[in-house]
Amino acid sequence: MPNPPTALLFPGQGAQSDTMLDELSRFEQFQAPYALASDTLGYDLLAELRKGTTSIHTNLVSSLMTVLASVVSLDILRQSDATAASVMGVAGYSVGQWVALYAARAISLVQLIRIVHRRAAMMDECAARNPGSMIAVIGIGESTLENCCAGIRSRGLFVAIANYNAVGQYTLSMETRAVSVVMQEVQALKPIKCIQLQAAGPWHSQMMSPAADALAEFLQGEAFRPTAIPTIDNTTGNFLPMEVDSCRRRLADQVSQPVRWSNGIETLVTQGAARFIEVGYGNMLTKFGFFINRNVQHMTFHTSLA
């Protein structure tokens, strides 16, 4: 029986762990991308983590480890499963957007690692100048949360929705001096959950505009091939043009604009996706999926099953 029309999903940061690559490291598919990432960094990533000389919670390290987990898992999935023939679309959350472009064959593995490395460095430089934080909020309606943010901004403190994950599930980005005010006012709305995240900066907000400008300039030196698989754009929730060469600026702006994840999933469903497979570390996108649309199948690919 043929597989149903399938979309592959690639996670972003947020669920990272020091041990997230341990299981994958036993596969031969791990060696080449890991060596490339370590060469790009200039040091052995896992060795430095074990020694405690670097932290999984730094943006650069978690970005590369998240990407490695997805790339290796994708390779294993393609070699161990007949899913490839039924894939009708791909999407990636935040840094996962770049893995989606890799899966769609718009960029090479070398480009993927190089772009993600530079993207993280530019975001970190921007966050050092414009420090901020992120808060996850569950159980408050979108319009209510938007109004709360607008009220806080009217008092000269920046906060905005950075991630539209699913109905009633959002992430806020804000400047450091706004954190206590945001926590107090959001908690007054009686959410199911309101927690500060271990984010290294106010990602996907206008505070990252200088990083978006720097990334756009860097991407002028990258050549993109047409996507072989339709690819969702984080910033709109619609498909990127097949000729992604024309949208370098849009891809750069992703670091300073909200991730409209739920819109992207609904776009894929509208186009016929009946099954979603999360490929990488964790199962956060699978959880979001159940809240976005329960009429389709949501699952996570586990390498232990390969």
What's the pLDDT score for residue 304?
54
How large is the average pLDDT for residues 157-183? 97
Q: What percent of the chain has pLDDT over 90?
A: 75
Band the pLDDT of 1: cuts 50, 70, 90.
low
Residue 88, pLDDT above cutoff 50: yes
The predicted-structure confidence for 224-272, as pLDDT tens digits, reads as follows: 999 999 999 999 999 999 999 889 999 999 999 999 999 999 999 999 9
CATH of span 132-197: 3.30.70.250
Mean pLDDT of the chain: 92
What's the pLDDT score for residue 305?
47
pTM of the model: 0.94
Reduce the secondary structure of the chain to three states and give it as a string.
Answer: CCCCCEEEEECCCCCCCCCCCCCHHHCHHHHHHHHHHHHHHCCCHHHHHHHCCCCCCCHHHHHHHHHHHHHHHHHHHHHHCHHHHHEEEEEECCCHHHHHHHHCCCCCHHHHHHHHHHHHHHHHHHHHHCCEEEEEEECCCHHHHHHHHHHHHCCCCCEEEEEEEECCEEEEEEEHHHHHHHHHHHHCCCCCEEEECCCCCCCCCHHHHHHHHHHHHHHCCCCCCCCCCCEECCCCCCECCCCHHHHHHHHHHCCCCCECHHHHHHHHHHCCCCEEEEECCCCHHHHHHHHHCCCCEEEEECHHHC
CATH of span 6-128+207-305: 3.40.366.10
What's the pLDDT score for residue 306?
47
- What are the structural domain ranges in the chain? 6-128+207-305, 132-197
